[in-house]
């Protein structure tokens, strides 16, 4: 029997807080690419996501683990309807076993089974899987898993001291990681967004307040007492440069004054650092807003990849209509 015809023992299930066998397998694969290991705390955090997480494994006849995958499900709004998008956070293969296509076979079979079981039309299935793969995973996913590159990622950056400010009628206050007003504001903000992940209190609490390794600061912008914007900031590095990273950003279309005040808050929050960074879709109004406020664009070596399971799946539609920030991925 040829390697491509081999039957693998595949298991798909809800992730549990402790997944030591899968974690060790994934970390071994990551070490082979020179990447840092994933901690037990990160795996536990994934399992506690509001939409849950799914893990999968493929074993040979001897019971040896040969491939693994982990996908976090995120509540989403797709053309006004409730959906769930799947963020692929781990893809691992026993690359040391076998040669050529034979060694890719267990992972290809695992991902194909995952698509059949969990993906499809909303709300029952996940219409999209997405992620920012490593170089090795990127080559495999394009060649064997029908994944496509949605876009090469850009980052917007600015020196806070160089930004110009005007007085506005918007007041910005710092809030705890899951402010009470967030649910209502998100429902208003998302009306102009054909495709977007849900950003409610539960999602913010999980993504930001409960993150096992990072600390975030959240701010709400108000005009005459009404919430009109939200921003989340953390300190970190982008391409080796230290600075403040805007992990999420919500302002109403065309509200430049709100954007200015949230950036004023971010400038004060970063203190002595000389950079602010943000990642948003380059087809979004937010992308144009940041440039109008003094941010510059530069490319990165990352690619946002996706696979669609909704028919018809048109990559150009998702490219133009998905509003996202670093909130949408573990990079945030």
For the stretch 130-159, pLDDT in tens is: 998 877 776 777 666 677 778 788 899 988
Task: Give the Cα separation of 73 and 78 in Å (integer).
Answer: 14
Running DSSP on this structure, what letter comes out for residue 39?
P
Query: Is omega for the bond preceding 31 within 30 degrees of 0, making it cis?
Result: no
Q: Does the structure show a pLDDT above 90 at 39?
A: yes
What tokens were used for 263?
Answer: 């950036």
Domain at 154-301+324-328: CATH code: 3.40.630.30
Q: What pTM did the predictor assign?
A: 0.92
pLDDT winner (highest mean) among 44-48, 99-103, 300-304, 310-314: 44-48
The pLDDT value given to residue 271: 83
DSSP per position, 243-298: EEEEEEEEE-TT-HHHHHHHHHHHHHHHTT---EEE---TTSHHHHHHHHTT-EEE
Domain 3-146 fold is Aminopeptidase (3.40.630)
Task: Give the Cα separation of 141 and 107 in Å (integer).
Answer: 10
The pLDDT value given to residue 148: 77
Q: Look at 273 and 258; give whichever has higher pLDDT.
A: 258
The pLDDT value given to residue 59: 95
For the stretch 237-247, pLDDT in tens is: 998 889 999 99
Helix (H) or strand (E) holding 236: strand 226-238
All structural domains of the chain with their residue ranges? 3-146, 154-301+324-328
What tokens were used for 6?
Answer: 């081999």
Task: Give the Cα separation of 45 and 260 in Å (integer).
Answer: 33
Are 3-146 and 154-301+324-328 the same fold in CATH?
Answer: yes
């Amino acid at each position: 029997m040829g390697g491509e015809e081999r039957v693998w023992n595949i298991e798909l299930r809800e992730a549990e807080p402790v997944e030591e066998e899968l974690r060790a397998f994934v970390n071994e694969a990551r070490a082979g690419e020179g990447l840092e290991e994933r901690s037990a705390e990160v795996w536990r955090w994934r399992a506690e996501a509001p939409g849950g997480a799914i893990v999968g494994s493929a074993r040979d006849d001897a019971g040896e683990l040969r491939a693994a995958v982990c996908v976090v499900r995120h509540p989403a709004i797709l053309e006004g309807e409730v959906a769930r998008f799947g963020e692929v956070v781990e893809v691992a293969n026993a690359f040391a076993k076998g040669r050529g296509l034979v060694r890719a076979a267990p992972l290809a079979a695992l991902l194909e089974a995952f698509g059949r079981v969990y993906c499809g039309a909303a709300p029952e299935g996940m219409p999209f899987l997405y992620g920012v793969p490593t170089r090795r995973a990127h080559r495999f996913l394009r060649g064997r898993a029908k994944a496509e590159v949605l876009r090469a990622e850009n980052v917007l950056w600015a020196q806070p001291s160089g930004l110009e400010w005007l007085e506005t009628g918007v007041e910005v206050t710092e809030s705890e990681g899951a402010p009470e007003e967030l649910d209502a504001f998100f429902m208003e903000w998302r009306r102009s967004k054909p495709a977007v992940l849900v950003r409610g209190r539960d999602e913010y609490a999980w993504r930001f307040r409960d993150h096992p390794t990072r600390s975030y600061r959240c701010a709400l912008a108000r005009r005459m007492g009404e919430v009109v914007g939200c921003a989340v900031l953390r300190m970190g590095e982008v391409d080796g440069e230290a600075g403040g990273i805007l992990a999420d950003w919500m302002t109403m279309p065309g509200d430049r004054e709100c954007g200015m005040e949230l950036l004023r808050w971010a400038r004060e929050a970063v203190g002595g650092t000389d950079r602010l960074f943000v990642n948003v879709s380059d087809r979004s109004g937010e992308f144009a807003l940041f440039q109008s406020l003094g941010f510059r664009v530069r490319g990165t070596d990352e690619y946002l990849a996706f696979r669609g399971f909704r028919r018809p799946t048109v990559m150009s539609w998702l490219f133009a209509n998905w509003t996202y920030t670093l909130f949408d991925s573990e990079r945030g």
